[in-house]
Amino acid sequence: MSIGNDVTERYLQEHPSDELIKQRLKGMRNDFTACLGLLYNNNP
């Protein structure tokens, strides 16, 4: 996921007006945040 996020961030820096990529990157961030929340909330 990290590699995909890095590549998407780099693309977005070069194409800042690409709204579809902005939406996908936001979704990736939300998914990652949710995964981290589950990971840390389930481990005492």
CA 22 to chain centre: 10
Residue 28's pLDDT band, with cuts at 50, 70 and 90, is confident
Q: Which of 30, 32, 10, 31 is nearest to 21 (CA)?
A: 10
Q: What does the block give as tokens for 24?
A: 């996908």
pLDDT at 43: 63
Number of domains in the chain: 1
The range of the structural domain enclosing residue 37 comes to: 2-12+19-42
Largest distance between two CA atoms of the chain: 43
Q: Determine the Cα–Cα distance for residues 15 and 25; give it in Å rounded to an integer.
A: 13
Q: What is the pLDDT of residue 1?
A: 52
Q: Report pTM.
A: 0.58
CA 21 to chain centroid, in Å, comes to: 10
Q: What is the pLDDT of residue 19?
A: 92
Contact 30, 43 (CB under 8 A): no
